[in-house]
Structure 1
């Protein structure tokens, strides 16, 4: 129980911008729980987004475009842009057209290049466009997707993390990979999957069931692509996966709304 609570504090500190000023111990069990809480962090974020949708469509109505921009900005504020940073670094590294060593070097470079800035702009514009298009079908039908898509994107991170080796021996990703207890983490993933499947059956949302299949496909493709181009995973690649998965899931959801 103590490790679970410690892991939750670590998850808030590592994966959100919520200011939690508390020193906690990091060990194998607490780090495992930190990753185990990651989908729940996505669920919290999704719930905040759903509340914003309800607030600005019923209590204080605003234009659809303004609402979408507000939602995208809210996701950045909630996470502190940590996953967007990974997207930018991945773009700079990949479009450098260097070898694996050069790309890994660029991943570690805190500076943002032209390709990173361009890809960030494209990502945000696509998110705004897709969510705007989805909201044209009505906000009520979208609430389950606002809640579940951030959670599913972070489940993709866990699946990728569990099945990949680090791209280098040093760094946070390598440290966490060596530290976590994979059996416990797999059980936690299984609990999330069963919970979401129960929600799909209860709400009778075929679209959410399809999203399960989509994240599995994304992880398989991303594993192959990052192994080929980077030799493994890193913290930046995990963050980029989250951002890319959210976009693909919203694109897929358009077919079921």
Structure 2
């Protein structure tokens, strides 16, 4: 197979769907053809579409959780759903979470921290981060599983969409890449800030039915997670010199977890 071209040239008419193809093939295991052309314009479209892809994936996971919770204990149903979420995203975001936390926990120079992040090995900091995040997600989904079907599905959809919104935010214009190559260099700085704002409002609106008796709580959880993401992104850019693919995964899992917890408070 001929690899796609990594260029910044004008996007051909026939390649206008390449952004959607890239979003689906990068963020999910959807059996769709990859983009014919891979450049920063396509990457920007893909990262802009990330929250929409997340909403679809989250709605699917919410339906699975509801079906499992009808016949299994809540914790078992939630554990299987979190496992399915990792499977459907190839575990990429969890890998980024572990690698980023290992790099942060090393307290080494920027160059050495980036090397640690790139290493295939997972250190103790990464293992602890994975365990903590997965336990929090399982616990939150177990609580959400008792809600009526519409609230449950929209809650999970909002949490997963919010995680992908974090990716869009970290790829907005003005945010540099930490390395000259790799996924981070391809997508960094490609998303228009207005697109991030529109996506944030859409995900917040999606979260309104997630807590039927407190319609403000869902949007508050989404916007609160976005503030956390922005704060972490600023710190990570200062620490590493920019974003990487692993940083995007770290921010995505963090946002998803914060939203899920925010939906079960009170």
Q: Which residue of 1 aligns with 2:254?
A: 244
TM-score by length of 1: 0.86
Shift of 1:32: 1.8
In structure 2, how many angstroms separate the alpha carbons of the residues matched to 1:139 and 1:46? 13
Length, aligned pairs only: 250
Query: For the Cα contact (< 8 Å) 2:69–2:145, is it kept in 1?
Result: no
1:178-193 to 2 correspondence within 5 Å?
180=190, 182=191, 185-193=192-200
Deviations 1:197-251 (A, max 9, x none): 5556787721122023213311231123213422221110110000111111111
Alignment map for 1:118-197 (pairs within 5 Å): 118-136=128-146, 141-162=151-172, 163-177=174-188, 180=190, 182=191, 185-196=192-203
User: Residue 13 and residue 167 in structure 1: after superposition, are their counterparts in 2 closer, same or farther (change >3 A)?
Assistant: same
1:107 aligns with 2:117: yes
Q: Which moved more, 1:82-91 or 1:161-170?
A: 161-170
Normalised by the size of structure 2, how large is the TM-score?
A: 0.83
Where does residue 87 of structure 1 map in the other structure?
97
Whose helix fraction is larger, Structure 1's or Structure 2's? Answer: 1
Is the Cα contact below 8 Å between 2:158 and 2:206 reproduced in 1? no
Segment drifting more, 157-166 vs 100-109: 157-166
State the alpha-carbon separation in 1 of the partners of residues 199 and 122 from structure 2: 35
Q: 1:117 to 1:227 in 2, by over 3 A?
A: same
Q: Which has the higher contact order (CA 8 A, sep 6+)?
A: 1
- The answer as to whether partners of 2:51 and 2:161 remain within 8 angstroms in 1 is yes
Cα distance in 1 for partners of 2:121, 2:241 equals 22
Point out where structure 2 has 5 or more consecutive residues left out of the alignment: 1-12
Q: How does 1:26-45 map to 2 (within 5 A)?
A: 26-45=38-57
**Structure 1 pair 235/55, CA: closer, same or farther in 2 (3 Å)?**
same
Mapped pair 1:7 → 2:19: yes
Which shows bigger deviation, 156-165 or 230-239? 156-165
SS of equivalent residue, structure 2 residue 107: coil
Render the CA deviation track for 1:179-213: whole Å, top value 9, x for unaligned.
Answer: x3x4xx44433443443455567877211220232
Q: What secondary structure does 1:37 align onto? A: helix
Shift in alpha-carbon separation, 1:140–1:197, aligned structure 2, 3 A: closer
